[in-house]
């Protein structure tokens, strides 16, 4: 039983560390260039996995894209040129964070817009609730009218017109 617990603990620890799919043979010799390649790879979507960056994915296509990024960096391309090259080849979907352009404006504006609409609706509801409380509190009822309201609220008296 102890061995089972130890095995479960080891598995839990192994899963808690981030997995990087970058293989040693892919890495560039220059640490600065490798850091650039890793930064770019973390911004590109694996087209197979779709929820992982190519830096994290172990899919063969992600491997090919990591190699391509490193080739473009070694060729002297800037980060923007590498990104533009990949986007030109695979489309905007390859970007984990889409660029803010007229085609993606709805994608970028919808969440803040919905948040703003929600805040406005809450403010309107609070204002209405406050206004209703003022109207109810400011009503000057006679003692007989207050007794009638109390009866109606308790459900003891029939409502006029029934």
Mean pLDDT of 73-82: 88
pLDDT band at 117 (very low <50, low <70, confident <90, very high): very high
Query: Token digits for 55?
Result: 């830096």
DSSP codes joined into one string, 74-135: HTT--HHHHHHHHHHHH-GGGBSS---STTTHHHHHHHHHHHHHHHHHHHHHHHHHHHHHHH
Residue 53 φ then ψ, to 5°: -80, 165
pLDDT band at 120 (very low <50, low <70, confident <90, very high): very high
Q: Please, what's the b/e burial string for 25-49 (b: 16 or more CB within 10 A of its CB; e: otherwise)?
A: eeebeeeeebebbbebbebbbbbee
Q: Could you tell me which residue, 161 or 55, shows the higher pLDDT?
A: 55
Residues 132-141 pLDDT 10s: 655 555 567 7
C-beta separation of 69 from 37 below 8 A: yes
pLDDT at 133: 59
Residues 102-115 pLDDT 10s: 777 777 788 888 99
Residues 44-63 pLDDT 10s: 888 888 788 888 888 888 88
| Architecture of the CATH domain 2-94 | Orthogonal Bundle (1.10)
> pTM of the predicted model, to two decimals?
0.52
């Amino acid at each position: 039983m102890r061995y089972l617990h130890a095995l479960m603990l080891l598995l839990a620890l192994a899963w808690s560390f981030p997995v990087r799919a970058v293989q040693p043979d892919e890495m560039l010799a220059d640490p600065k260039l490798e850091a650039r390649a890793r930064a770019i790879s973390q911004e590109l979507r694996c087209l197979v996995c779709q929820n992982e960056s190519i830096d994290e994915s172990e899919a063969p296509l992600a491997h090919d894209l990591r190699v391509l990024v490193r080739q473009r960096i070694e060729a002297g391309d800037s980060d923007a040129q590498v990104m533009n090259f990949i986007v030109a080849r695979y489309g905007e979907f390859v970007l984990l964070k889409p660029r803010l352009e007229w085609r993606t404006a709805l994608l970028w504006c919808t969440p803040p817009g919905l948040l703003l609409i929600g805040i406005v609706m809450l403010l309107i509801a609070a204002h209405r609730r406050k206004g209703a409380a003022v109207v109810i509190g400011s009503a000057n009822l006679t003692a007989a009218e207050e007794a009638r309201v109390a009866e109606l609220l308790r459900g003891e008296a029939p409502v006029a017109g029934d």
